[in-house]
Amino acid sequence: MTLHITPLSPTIGAVVAGVDLSRELTPAQQREIDAALLAHQVLFWRDQPLTPAQQARLAHQFGDLHIHPIYPSVPGQPDVLVLDTAVTDVRDNAIWHTDVTFLAEPAMGAILTAQQVPPYGGDTCWASGIAAFEALSAPLQTLLDGLTATHDFAKSFPLERFGSDAQALARWEQTRQQHPPLSHPVVRTHPVSGRKALFVSDGFTTRINEVSAAESRALLDLLFAHGTRPEFCVRWQWRQGDVAFWDNRVTQHYAIDDYRPQRRVMHRATILGDRPF
CATH number at residue 16: 3.60.130.10
Helices and strands (H, E) in the chain, number of each type? 7, 16
Q: Is the pLDDT of residue 226 over 90?
A: yes
> Which of 79-88, 131-140, 249-258 is the least confident region?
79-88
> Per the domain annotation, does 25 fall within a domain?
yes
pLDDT per position as a tens digit, 178-205: 999 999 999 999 999 999 999 999 999 9
> Per the domain annotation, does 27 fall within a domain?
yes
> Per the domain annotation, does 44 fall within a domain?
yes
> Per the domain annotation, does 182 fall within a domain?
no
| pLDDT score of 30 | 97
Active-site residue numbers?
97, 99, 253, 268
pLDDT per position as a tens digit, 7-58: 999 999 999 999 999 999 999 999 999 999 999 999 999 999 999 999 999 9
| pLDDT score of 167 | 86
Mean pLDDT confidence for 160-181: 86
Q: Is the pLDDT of residue 80 over 90?
A: yes
Residues 6+ apart with CB under 8 A from 84: 72, 90, 263, 264, 265, 266
Collapse the DSSP code of 133 into the 3-class scheme (helix H, G, I; strand E, B; otherwise coil) and give the result: helix
> Per the domain annotation, does 134 fall within a domain?
no
> Per the domain annotation, does 241 fall within a domain?
yes
> Per the domain annotation, does 34 fall within a domain?
yes
> Per the domain annotation, does 196 fall within a domain?
no
Instruction: Give the total number of structural domains in the chain.
Output: 1
- What is the domain extent for residue 12? 4-86+104-115+237-250+258-271
pLDDT per position as a tens digit, 90-143: 777 789 999 999 999 999 999 999 999 999 999 999 999 999 999 999 999 999
Strand pairing partners for 197?
188
**Cα separation, 10 vs 141, whole angstroms:** 22
